Amino acid sequence: MPYSIEYFNERVLADIEAWPVGILADYARLVELLAEFGPDLRMPHSRALGSGLFELRPRGREGTGRALYCYLVGERVVVLHAFVKKTRATPEKDLRLARRRMKEVRDG
């Protein structure tokens, strides 16, 4: 049974939909793989960031996007935060925001 993909809020989905077309196309492909394979999806498509937080790693000619997500009981994936990377490392403020949202969805 495939994993269901949910978004923390409508703004997260809107942020993704506003990505450049090349990054968005790769995101669409990767999110299908995520729904099919769940935690078995690994590098280069997905990477664990620790403490239950993961990143989906879409790329396009325009650059690189990141969609930070977690798993919930019942084969559910929640995309917590998304952005187009401007630097090599994932900014700490983006990680903090995703971790805060992950705590919120897990604690309920």
Yes or no: say if 65 and 84 are a contact pair by the CB < 8 Å rule. yes
Size of the chain in residues: 108
Give me the residue spans of the domains in the chain.
4-107
Structure tokens given for 73: 């009981």
pLDDT tens readout for residues 48-93: 999 999 999 999 999 999 999 999 999 999 999 999 999 999 999 9
> Is this model's pTM higher than 0.75 or not?
yes
Over residues 21-31, mean pLDDT: 98
> Where residue 108 falls among pLDDT bands split at 50, 70, 90?
confident
Cα angle at 60 between 55 and 61, to 5 degrees?
Answer: 145
**Check whether domain 4-107 has CATH 3.30.2310.20, yes or no:** yes
| DSSP SS3 for 10 | helix
Yes or no: say if 76 and 6 are a contact pair by the CB < 8 Å rule. yes
